[in-house]
Amino acid sequence: MSFKVPWSKQHKTITGGLPLSFSNSYTEPLSMPELVELTRARGDHALVDAFDQHGLEYTANGGSLDLRQTIAGLYGNAIGADNILVFCGGQVALQTCAFALLTRADHAIVFTPGYQSVQQAPLFAGADVTTIPLQAENGWQIQPDEVEAAMRSNTRYLVINEPFNPAGSLMSRRLQGDLIALAERHNLHLLSDEAYRLLEHDPRTRLPAMADAYPRGISLCTLSKPWGACGVTIGWLALQDTALRQACIDVQYFGSACPGRASELQAIMTLRASDAILKKNLAIIAHNLHLLDEFFQRYSKFFQWVRPTAGAVGYVKFSGPMSSAALGKALADAGISIKPAYVFSDPAYADAYRDYFRIGFGEASMPKALVALQRFVEEHQHSW
Ligand SMILES: Cc1ncc(COP(=O)(O)O)c(C=O)c1O
């Protein structure tokens, strides 16, 4: 079997473990003592006891009922515990759903740049895939006429990611409605990767979850991003289509059919503490964005971005004399990590985005990295 190193992983040999990081896309990670403290502060001692005393047997396929009930609370009336399917992280959910839904005879539509699994899961599942490139000039927004033009008689699946990684943009309700109408007209399943939902910088811009808004809609979510709990490795799908949910369970059966109980209980603790965790993380994001605004204003000759409105990442254009890959290497030598364009697009599209790099600003340590970046720019700008 041949195996290609994922393009989203290639930067790791250059930037892995660097002390000054803009690389992460998650918010400030929690610690277990913090999680227990938040749980006890609410008087939820029974949950801490359940964690301390849980057995190590298999959990139910697709996730235990108590976790699915807790997750269902994030959605509207159409979504109950039986509409939730739990996975060991969001990435597995992306792959499983594509395998459950698609055959070699099917066609899917995805967008670039983006998280590799969002773009490529349908391809791994054997489907024909049309990739539509998004443009900064359009605020990284999907153009429905381009999606319409890509439709074929065998198109079954449309995959979007809102809020959008890598740019931190968010579509309007109107655009979401247009895409749902298009999906409805063509009888498509529409998966929205909502890994960054609940991190809208202005909560009034939050979109309805796709699972609530469209009967063939699928919402993907994970604890990894807004809750800063990637180590819990719990993600999920929410969907009204119970036949597709069953097909996903059948695919999942051959992988990690059930998460560990410790992860499930940590996930329940995390979700019950949502208000406090999201408030803290949104405050870190707001503070860091303010610092980045000042930086980009000062160095606007070299750096431009479509200012993010949701999530903890942004896609920055570098107008200096080198590609973002070369800039990434030079920054790595100074101990600073960014994610160059090649992390987000397969080589067929990489040239179109060669000047872009992603920065993450969800962690409390970001200001330290920004001070180092500013020092780097001051040292080099005269030769740019
Ligand atoms: C848009 C998006 N979807 C899914 C994932 C995968 O999430 P997880 O870490 O839970 O596998 C990521 C992780 O970076 C992501 O950015």
DSSP helix, strand, coil percent of the chain (3-state; round to 5): 45, 15, 40
Q: What is the mean pLDDT of residues 22-47?
A: 96
pLDDT digits (tens, 9 = 90+) for 104-114: 999 999 999 99
pLDDT for 2 equals 56
Mutate to test the pocket of ligand 1, among 225, 236, 266 (most ligand atoms within 8 A of CB): 225
Residue 311: φ, ψ to 5°: 85, -165
CB 90 near ligand 1, within 6 Å: yes
pLDDT exceeds cutoff 60 at 41: yes
> Cα separation of 22 and 369, whole Å?
7
Q: What is the mean pLDDT of residues 50-76?
A: 97
CB 161 near ligand 1, within 6 Å: yes
The rounded mean pLDDT for the chain is 96
Ligand 1 atom at minimal distance to the Cα of residue 26: 14
Q: Is 154 helix (H, G, I), strand (E, B) or coil?
A: coil
Ligand 1 atom at minimal distance to the Cα of residue 234: 10
Q: What is the mean pLDDT of residues 192-207?
A: 98
For the ranges 78-87, 214-223, 251-260, 311-320, the lowest mean pLDDT is seen at 251-260
pLDDT for 351 equals 86
Q: What is the mean pLDDT of residues 149-166?
A: 98
> Cα separation of 183 and 158, whole Å?
8
Strand pairing partners for 292? Answer: none
pLDDT for 269 equals 98
pLDDT for 1 equals 46
Strand pairing partners for 198? Answer: none
Report percent pLDDT > 90 for the chain.
Answer: 92
CB 162 near ligand 1, within 6 Å: no
CB 141 near ligand 1, within 6 Å: no
Measured in Å, residue 116 CA sits from the centre of ligand 1 at 9
CB 89 near ligand 1, within 6 Å: yes
The closest of 315, 267, 303, 355 to 90, measured between CA atoms, is 267
CB 165 near ligand 1, within 6 Å: yes
Measured in Å, residue 237 CA sits from the centre of ligand 1 at 13
pLDDT for 15 equals 76
CB 195 near ligand 1, within 6 Å: yes
- Rounded to a whole number of angstroms, the distance between the first and last alpha carbons of the chain is 45
- Of 8 and 330, the structure prediction assigns the larger pLDDT to 330
Q: What is the mean pLDDT of residues 331-359?
A: 93
Query: CA-CA-CA-CA torsion for 113, 87, 30, 344, nearest 10 degrees?
Result: -10
pLDDT for 205 equals 98
CB 115 near ligand 1, within 6 Å: yes
pLDDT exceeds cutoff 60 at 148: yes
CB 222 near ligand 1, within 6 Å: yes
Q: What H or E segment, with its residue span, contains residue 84?
A: strand 84-87
Name all domains of the chain by residue range, CATH numbers in brackets. 7-31+275-383 (3.90.1150.10), 53-272 (3.40.640.10)
pLDDT exceeds cutoff 80 at 4: no
pLDDT digits (tens, 9 = 90+) for 115-144: 999 999 999 999 999 999 999 999 999 999
Measured in Å, residue 235 CA sits from the centre of ligand 1 at 9
Token couple for 361: 């600003």
CB 8 near ligand 1, within 6 Å: no
pLDDT for 5 equals 79
Q: What is the mean pLDDT of residues 306-335?
A: 97
pLDDT for 9 equals 84
Q: Over 300-360, what HEC string results?
A: CCCEEECCCCECCEEEEEECCCCCHHHHHHHHHHCCEECEEHHHCCCHHHHHHHCCEEEEE
Residue 16's pLDDT band (cuts 50, 70, 90): confident
The closest of 66, 35, 64, 59 to 48, measured between CA atoms, is 35
> Cα separation of 158 and 192, whole Å?
8
The closest of 203, 222, 201 to 71, measured between CA atoms, is 222
Measured in Å, residue 184 CA sits from the centre of ligand 1 at 27
Contact between 26 and 230 (Cβ < 8 Å): yes
Measured in Å, residue 25 CA sits from the centre of ligand 1 at 9
- Residue 50's contacts (CB-CB under 8 Å, 6 or more residues apart) are 265
Token couple for 271: 């979700």
CB 118 near ligand 1, within 6 Å: yes
- Of 8 and 383, the structure prediction assigns the larger pLDDT to 383
CB 167 near ligand 1, within 6 Å: no
Ligand 1 atom at minimal distance to the Cα of residue 89: 10
